[in-house]
Homo-oligomer: A and B are copies of this chain.
Amino acid sequence: MSALRFSSRLNPMLSNRILSQTNLLFTLSSFSSSFKKTSKHLYCTSNSTLHNNGGTSLSLSSNSPLSGLEDELVGYIFGKKKATEVAHLVWRHVLRKGDMVIDATCGNGCDTLAMLKMVADESGFGRVYGMDIQTEAIENTSSLLDQAVTPKEKELVKLFPICHSRMNEVVPENTAVRLVAFNLGYLPGGDKSIITISRTTLLALEAAKKMLISGGLISLVVYVGHPGGREELETVEVFASGLSVDGWICCKFQMLNRPLAPVLVFIFKR
């Protein structure tokens, strides 16, 4: 139901030819009647929607800087990719070599490792601040790094056995943080009675909000299949919903018929 009007000044045959060109720039007007005007005329749909392609023959410049993201995102929609994989691809879109990032919930270190690979710079720039309230998690993360990266790369990771709500105590002041990532729930293989909880998660989110630079991201994979999980998701949603539209973009992806599946929340600072 996108709004549309074609200029009466356009010859139908001419417009017919024009419209059949796949790269013609149309502008998509949103449902809210906020028409986009071009030369006083109102058009419908974007150039991407009129590509005359079937589902298996899409054309794209292979030089696109975003190449590599499509499998995960579309795979997620079609149930073939995991939430964590989608989170990682979004990080890759945001991060650059040399960036400062925070893994607020190290767990077994998979995210810490993925981040390190994205930000580690050959000149020794890039830093991952990792934390977890459970010593076991920090040990697991350290072991993983020992096996997966060089000692020089590992030096770029700083690990702290503390609650994520205290991230501002361990990350140096004025650090330009590009990413703060959370996996909310419990440690796989660990003590299931130790879970992240709404109160400290909210404190951590507030701390992350303050540390994040413009163009940065707070990424959350929220597991909801355990007692307290739903409440924690609600806390995250209330936090995100309260952020100004001018300053933040907050979106949520979830599976509707899998109530225990993790929920993805991305909070992007403009």
CB < 8 Å neighbour of A51 from B117, B147, B252: B117
Taking CB atoms, residues of chain B closer than 8 Å to A185 are 1, 31
CB < 8 Å neighbour of A189 from B33, B108, B150, B188: B33
The size of the chain A interface, using a CB distance under 8 A, is 117
- Verify A95–B55 contact, CB threshold 8 A: yes
Taking CB atoms, residues of chain B closer than 8 Å to A45 are 84, 88, 110, 113-114
- Verify A68–B70 contact, CB threshold 8 A: yes
Chain A interface (Cβ < 8 Å from any Cβ of B):
1-6, 10, 12, 15-16, 19-20, 28-33, 44-46, 48-60, 62, 64-74, 76-79, 82, 84-85, 88-90, 92-97, 105-111, 113-114, 117-119, 137, 140, 143-144, 146-150, 183, 185-189, 221, 223, 225, 237, 240-245, 248-260, 262, 265-266, 268, 270
Q: A3-B108, A44-B109, A53-B92 are in contact. List 17 more A-B contacts (CB 8 A).
A: A4-B188, A10-B147, A12-B147, A16-B150, A28-B82, A30-B82, A32-B260, A48-B68, A48-B85, A50-B113, A50-B114, A50-B117, A70-B70, A78-B93, A78-B249, A251-B253, A252-B256
